């Protein structure tokens, strides 16, 4: 976008934190709300699966749409649709309508990937690591604060309905902020004729199939390993804290907040960390070396969480785990957009985001089977194996292109 300034970048940060804050208000309270209106555990699980399935298929399509029509216009449309869906979510007791709204939210909720696409388009490559780190750090703060405020509001009568009204306002504030951003998308300067819905869909599919996915498969494989490793870890984490340490839900919440704080702090410092690696290694190899080190840090943290017996030991083990995961999210995004043309970035980030949706669909089933057959420790072992595989895979598949002179 022409004329993109530091102020506009801060607007992107603001939209990201408002988005995460809004979701943080509602998502932790959605399951209790569904139970209060008579939903079974099956219905609650179905609502999560519907959202994940919609994200899985819609993320690449919305990314492709933004490649062709501009980030800001698609972002504004996405925010408007989400605001209506969240508002209706708190105003109905119909389980069928709630499931439909969750499906629509999965199709429309792409604020984070679109914000990353804007940064990829407008921020110089040498500044993108710091920009993605700040985006992750600020977004993390939103999820630390949102559930706390939402929990207090939910204690009152009709609390969830009031929360969805707040979310409606937050999303419309984001729409207003989005209009501040320069509207012209530099990858699509020519005007296009109006397309029907069917033709528009075919255009998006054609755009996706025209991308050389093999050029990006190495980074996408590492992203897939990361999201599945973290999904296995989070599926078992709360249960492990309660069973192993006898923690109450309140204490579990504090531990989760501690992880978020460590992750946000690390993300905020990611630019400085990148400079340290670039001082030690050639710039074209620095990010890849970091990826290997981050997977190793995650492995050490996951093993530590399994073996320590004290709360202090747990907190110490969580530090490399949370830091490594936060840096990996930033680094893999950075490498993905660096190798992509401007016309591909939205589609690639959408595909990357769909991996998270895929993990939300599959890991609960796998974790449930593993827990039933071998106990909850088996799920922890799966996450440790995932991080170890990530470290080995990162070293092997990036070695030829980035790590010719890397000595482990």
Provide the pLDDT confidence category of residue 399 given band limits of 50, 70 and 90. low
Q: Is 189 inside a domain boundary?
A: no
193 has a pLDDT exceeding 60: no
CA 309 to chain centre: 31
Last residue of one domain, picked from the residues 179, 194, 229: 179
Query: Are residues 47 and 129 located together in one domain of the fold?
Result: yes
pLDDT, residue 312, reads 92
Lowest mean pLDDT among 24-33, 210-219, 274-283: 210-219
d(CA 52, CA 74): 20
Q: Is 188 inside a domain boundary?
A: no
d(CA 267, CA 270): 5
CA 71 to chain centre: 18
Q: Do 354 and 55 meet the contact criterion of CB atoms below 8 Å apart? A: yes
By CB atoms closer than 10 A (0-12, 13-18, 19+), residue 343 is middle
Q: Do 2 and 184 meet the contact criterion of CB atoms below 8 Å apart? A: yes
d(CA 203, CA 201): 5
pLDDT in tens, 126-143: 787 778 878 888 887 887
pLDDT, residue 143, reads 74
Last residue of one domain, picked from the residues 121, 155, 179: 179
Query: Are residues 343 and 216 located together in one domain of the fold?
Result: yes
- Helix pair 6-36, 71-89: axis angle to 10 deg: 20
Provide the pLDDT confidence category of residue 15 given band limits of 50, 70 and 90. very high
Query: Are residues 333 and 401 located together in one domain of the fold?
Result: yes
d(CA 354, CA 386): 19
Query: Are residues 139 and 73 located together in one domain of the fold?
Result: yes
pLDDT in tens, 342-380: 666 666 777 677 777 777 777 766 776 776 677 767 778
Query: Are residues 6 and 109 located together in one domain of the fold?
Result: yes
d(CA 246, CA 235): 18
Query: Are residues 142 and 216 located together in one domain of the fold?
Result: no
Lowest mean pLDDT among 218-232, 278-292, 314-328: 278-292
Provide the pLDDT confidence category of residue 11 given band limits of 50, 70 and 90. very high
User: Alpha-carbon torsion 327, 333, 334, 339, what sign?
Assistant: positive
Q: What is the mean predicted confidence (pLDDT) over 289-311?
A: 91
According to DSSP, residue 309 is labeled -
pLDDT-above-90 percentage for the chain: 26
B/e letters for 213-236, b = 16+ CB within 10 Å, e = fewer, are eeebebbbebbbbbbbbbbbbbbb
Query: Are residues 7 and 132 located together in one domain of the fold?
Result: yes
Query: If DSSP codes are grouped into helix, strand and coil, which group holds residue 342?
Result: coil
pLDDT in tens, 62-99: 888 888 788 899 999 999 999 999 999 988 989 999 99
Query: Encoding tokens for residue 318?
Result: 């969580």
pLDDT in tens, 172-181: 999 999 999 9
d(CA 34, CA 400): 51
Query: Are residues 132 and 1 located together in one domain of the fold?
Result: yes
d(CA 144, CA 386): 26
Provide the pLDDT confidence category of residue 239 given band limits of 50, 70 and 90. low
**How long, in residues, is the chain?**
408
Q: What is the mean predicted confidence (pLDDT) over 322-343?
A: 81
283 has a pLDDT exceeding 80: no
Pick the closest to residue 406 from 295, 288, 274 (CA basis).
Answer: 288
CA 379 to chain centre: 21
Its domain, for residue 270, covers 211-407
Q: What is the mean predicted confidence (pLDDT) over 205-211?
A: 58
46 has a pLDDT exceeding 70: yes
Q: Is 248 inside a domain boundary?
A: yes
More confident residue, 201 or 236: 236
The CB-side HSE value for 27 (13 A sphere, CA atoms) comes to: 16
d(CA 192, CA 359): 37
Query: Encoding tokens for residue 127?
Result: 């500044």
Last residue of one domain, picked from the residues 131, 156, 179: 179
Number of domains in the chain: 2
Give the residue carrying structure tokens 């504004």: 76
252 has a pLDDT exceeding 90: no
pLDDT, residue 179, reads 93
pLDDT-above-70 percentage for the chain: 79
Q: What is the mean predicted confidence (pLDDT) over 43-50?
A: 77
Provide the pLDDT confidence category of residue 111 given band limits of 50, 70 and 90. very high
User: Alpha-carbon torsion 128, 349, 15, 253, what sign?
Assistant: negative
Pick the closest to residue 47 from 5, 91, 103, 94 (CA basis).
Answer: 103
Query: Are residues 220 and 141 located together in one domain of the fold?
Result: no
Phi-psi region of 3 (alpha: psi -120 to 50; beta: other; left: phi over 0): left
CA 154 to chain centre: 25
Query: For residue 246, how many other CB atoms are within 10 A of its CB?
Result: 8
Q: What is the mean predicted confidence (pLDDT) over 194-207?
A: 50
Q: Is 204 inside a domain boundary?
A: no
191 has a pLDDT exceeding 50: no
Any residues with CB less than 8 A from the CB of 32 and at least 6 apart, and which?
154
Query: Are residues 143 and 234 located together in one domain of the fold?
Result: no
Pick the closest to residue 246 from 303, 314, 151, 152 (CA basis).
Answer: 314
Query: Are residues 170 and 272 located together in one domain of the fold?
Result: no
More confident residue, 11 or 356: 11
Largest CA distance in the chain: 64
- Model's pTM, two decimal places? 0.69
Query: Are residues 15 and 154 located together in one domain of the fold?
Result: yes
pLDDT, residue 204, reads 52
First-to-last CA distance in the chain? 41
Query: For residue 348, how many other CB atoms are within 10 A of its CB?
Result: 29
Assign residue 304 the CATH number of its domain.
1.20.1250.20
Q: What is the mean predicted confidence (pLDDT) over 108-114?
A: 91
More confident residue, 251 or 167: 167
Pick the closest to residue 38 from 94, 91, 118, 76 (CA basis).
Answer: 94
pLDDT, residue 196, reads 45
Provide the pLDDT confidence category of residue 408 given band limits of 50, 70 and 90. very low
Q: What is the mean predicted confidence (pLDDT) over 38-44?
A: 76
Q: What is the mean predicted confidence (pLDDT) over 227-241?
A: 78
Q: Is 307 inside a domain boundary?
A: yes
- φ and ψ of 238, to 5 deg: -65, -40
Q: What is the mean predicted confidence (pLDDT) over 208-226?
A: 76
Lowest mean pLDDT among 164-173, 195-204, 234-243, 276-285: 195-204
pLDDT, residue 94, reads 92
């Amino acid at each position: 976008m022409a004329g993109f300034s530091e102020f506009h970048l801060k607007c992107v940060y603001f939209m990201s934190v408002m988005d995460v804050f809004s979701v943080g208000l509602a998502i932790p309270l959605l399951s209790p709300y569904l139970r209060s209106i008579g939903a079974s555990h099956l219905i609650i699980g179905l609502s999560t699966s519907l959202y994940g399935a919609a994200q899985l298929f819609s993320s690449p399509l919305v990314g492709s749409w933004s490649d062709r029509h501009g980030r800001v216009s698609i972002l504004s449309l996405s925010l408007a649709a989400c605001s209506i869906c969240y508002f209706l979510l708190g105003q109905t007791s119909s389980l069928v309508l709630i499931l439909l709204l969750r499906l629509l939210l999965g199709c429309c909720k792409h604020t984070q990937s679109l914000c990353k696409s804007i940064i990829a388009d407008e921020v110089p490559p040498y500044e993108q690591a710091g920009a993605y780190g700040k985006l992750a750090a600020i977004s993390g703060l939103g999820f630390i604060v949102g559930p706390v405020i939402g929990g207090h509001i939910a204690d009152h009568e009709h609390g969830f309905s009031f929360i969805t009204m707040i979310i409606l306002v937050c999303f419309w504030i984001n729409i207003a902020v989005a209009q501040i951003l320069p509207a012209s998308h530099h990858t699509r300067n020519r005007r296009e004729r109006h397309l029907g819905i069917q033709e528009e869909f075919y255009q998006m599919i054609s755009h996706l199939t025209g991308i050389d996915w093999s050029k990006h498969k190495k980074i996408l494989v590492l992203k897939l390993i990361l999201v599945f490793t973290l999904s296995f870890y989070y599926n078992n984490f709360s249960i492990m804290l309660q069973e192993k340490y006898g923690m109450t839900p309140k204490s579990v919440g504090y531990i989760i907040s501690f992880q978020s704080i460590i992750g946000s702090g690390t993300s905020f410092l990611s630019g400085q960390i990148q400079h340290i690696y670039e001082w030690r290694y050639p710039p074209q190899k620095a990010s890849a070396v970091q990826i290997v080190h981050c997977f190793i840090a995650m492995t050490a943290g996951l093993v530590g969480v399994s073996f320590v017996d004290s709360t202090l030991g747990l907190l110490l083990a969580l530090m490399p785990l949370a830091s490594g995961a936060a840096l990996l999210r930033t680094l893999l995004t950075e490498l993905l957009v660096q190798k992509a043309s401007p016309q591909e970035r939205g589609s690639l980030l959408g595909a990357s985001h769909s991996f998270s949706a895929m993990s939300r669909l599959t890991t609960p089933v796998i974790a449930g089977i593993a827990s039933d057959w071998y106990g909850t420790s088996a799920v922890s072992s799966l996450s440790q194996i995932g991080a170890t595989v990530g470290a080995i895979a990162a070293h092997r598949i990036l070695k030829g292109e980035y790590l010719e002179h890397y000595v482990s």
